[in-house]
């Protein structure tokens, strides 16, 4: 995987290493408090082949190896939302590292929505499958660093942003890189209007705040390598979807028109029933195997 490290800027600033997963365009993060060498893992990917419905752990193992090579202690395994384009590695990481898993509390509402779409009442229990469900405004510690949780709905109805220390925010599928724009808002429970509000709340963070996004799909123009970091000031001035004070109405038209051209991600119908179990397969059936349930002609 291609990786890049953004160095700590001082005592209240984390070191952040991002790992780009080429199969899904996802960015996975190792966030470190340098004073304690405590770390959080954010949005780590479990490898999945949709053609064979096979899971493997090569990418997640690379991140575990990085953590061990760096002598870090993982304090949190965090996800920003139940991803539609990759399977989350959270449960597997907990087995390897022993750290608690967490996601936003509105995952309960997402679970109810997808139980209906899969026709599997009672299939998902986020309170059982995650160790912590964060609400908007909650805070916790990563080593000596303060972490604040912001509800950032729009891409999903329960996405959250983690603001770590005084200059890093993990903004998942809200912004794309500053030369691309923003993320889609057309999945069940999504809303371009809510996404606009979430983007504005993130843009209100201090100018120097490093915004770390969820995805990049190079090449983009002349840029060949993946990129995932820009400041709030950069996005406020230069993001093509919201930079320069774009209105809600203009943003919604841009976003909704773009979303109408997009197909479903190849992994979404597998991913949601895995991720809403905290990164676990459905319970094994009488033959000892697990099976995905895929709705036909529903989307």
Locate all alpha helices (DSSP H) within 207-289, ordered by sequence. 232-238, 248-259, 268-275
Question: Rounded distance, CA 292 to CA 114, Å?
Answer: 14
- What pLDDT, on the 0 to 100 scale, is given for residue 51? 94
- What pLDDT, on the 0 to 100 scale, is given for residue 258? 97
**Which CATH topology does 2-263 take?**
Metallo-beta-lactamase; Chain A (3.60.15)
- What pLDDT, on the 0 to 100 scale, is given for residue 176? 98
* Phi, psi (deg, nearest 5) at residue 147: -125, 130
- What pLDDT, on the 0 to 100 scale, is given for residue 292? 96
pLDDT in tens, 200-252: 999 999 999 999 999 999 999 999 999 999 999 999 999 999 999 999 999 99
Q: Are 182 and 239 in contact (CB under 8 A)?
A: yes
Bridge partners (DSSP) of residue 15 are: 32
pLDDT in tens, 122-155: 999 999 999 999 999 999 999 999 999 999 999 9
Question: Rounded distance, CA 232 to CA 196, Å?
Answer: 15
pTM, two decimals, is 0.96
Question: Rounded distance, CA 240 to CA 79, Å?
Answer: 27
- What pLDDT, on the 0 to 100 scale, is given for residue 70? 98
Question: Rounded distance, CA 231 to CA 178, Å?
Answer: 9
Bridge partners (DSSP) of residue 77 are: 41, 101
Q: Prior bond to 219 cis, omega within 30?
A: yes
Q: Are 166 and 202 in contact (CB under 8 A)?
A: no
What residues contact residue 2 under an 8 Å CB cut-off, 6+ apart?
19, 20, 22, 225, 226
Q: Residues of the chain whose pLDDT is less than 70?
A: none
Question: Rounded distance, CA 61 to CA 276, Å?
Answer: 22
What residues contact residue 287 under an 8 Å CB cut-off, 6+ apart?
none
- What pLDDT, on the 0 to 100 scale, is given for residue 103? 98
Nearest partner of 43 among 84, 73, 7, 2, judged by Cα: 84
- For the chain, what are the domain ranges? 2-263
Length of the chain (residues): 299
- What pLDDT, on the 0 to 100 scale, is given for residue 268? 96
- What pLDDT, on the 0 to 100 scale, is given for residue 80? 98
For residue 35 the two structure tokens come to 């004073």
Nearest partner of 21 among 101, 82, 89, 114, judged by Cα: 89
């Amino acid at each position: 995987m291609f990786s890049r490290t953004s160095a700590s800027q001082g005592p209240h600033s984390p070191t952040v290493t991002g790992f780009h997963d080429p199969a899904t365009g996802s960015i996975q993060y190792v966030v470190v408090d340098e004073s304690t060498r405590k770390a959080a893992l954010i949005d780590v990917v479990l490898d999945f082949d949709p053609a064979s419905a096979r899971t493997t752990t090569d990418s997640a193992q690379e991140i575990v190896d990085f953590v061990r090579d760096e002598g870090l202690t993982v304090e949190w395994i965090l996800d920003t939302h139940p991803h539609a384009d990759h399977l989350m590695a959270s449960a597997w990481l907990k087995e390897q590292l022993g750290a608690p898993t967490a996601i936003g509390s509105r995952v309960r509402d997402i679970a109810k929505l997808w139980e209906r779409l899969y026709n599997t009442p009672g299939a998902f229990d986020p309170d059982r499958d995650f160790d912590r469900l964060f609400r908007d405004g909650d805070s916790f510690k990563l080593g000596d660093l303060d972490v604040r949780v912001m509800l950032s709905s729009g891409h999903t109805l329960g996405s959250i942003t983690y603001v770590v220390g005084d200059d890093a925010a993990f903004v998942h599928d809200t912004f794309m890189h500053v030369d691309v724009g923003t993320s889609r808002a057309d999945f069940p429970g999504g809303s371009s209007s809510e996404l606009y509000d979430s983007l504005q709340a993130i843009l209100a963070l201090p100018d120097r705040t490093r915004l770390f996004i969820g995805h990049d799909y190079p090449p983009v123009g002349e840029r060949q390598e993946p990129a995932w970091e820009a400041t709030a000031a950069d996005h406020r001035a230069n993001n093509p979807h919201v930079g320069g004070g774009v209105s809600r109405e203009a943003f919604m038209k841009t976003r909704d028109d773009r979303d109408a051209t997009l197909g479903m991600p190849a992994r979404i119908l597998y991913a949601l029933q895995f991720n809403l179990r905290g990164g676990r397969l459905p319970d094994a059936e009488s033959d000892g195997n697990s099976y995905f349930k895929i709705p036909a002609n529903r989307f």
